Amino acid sequence: DAGITQSPRHKVTETGTPVTLRCHQTENHRYMYWYRQDPGHGLRLIHYSYGVKDTDKGEVSDGYSVSRSKTEDFLLTLESATSSQTSVYFCASRVGGEGTEAFFGQGTRLTVV
Partner 1 sequence: DQQVKQNSPSLSVQEGRISILNCDYTNSMFDYFLWYKKYPAEGPTFLISISSIKDKNEDGRFTVFLNKSAKHLSLHIVPSQPGDSAVYFCAASGEYGNKLVFGAGTILRVKS
List of residues contacting partner 1 (CB under 8 A): 31, 33, 35, 40-45, 48, 50, 56, 58-59, 90, 92, 94, 96-99, 101-107
Query: Which candidate, 34, 55, 36, places its Cα nearest to that of 44?
Result: 36
CB 48, CB 33: distance < 8 Å: yes
Nearer to partner 1 by C-beta: 19 or 32?
32
Shortest distance in whole angstroms from residue 52 CB to partner 1:
15
Nearer to partner 1, 14 or 28 (CB): 28
CB of 51 to partner 1, least distance (A): 10
CB of 44 to partner 1, least distance (A): 7
Pairing state between β 42-51 and 102-104 = unpaired
Residues in the chain, overall count: 113
Euclidean distance between CA atoms 18 and 44, whole angstroms: 21
What are the φ and ψ backbone dihedral angles of 83, each rounded to 5 degrees?
A: -60, -30
**Whose Cβ is closer to partner 1: residue 56's or residue 79's?**
56
Question: In the complex with partner 1, which residue's Cβ is closer, 37 or 77?
Answer: 37
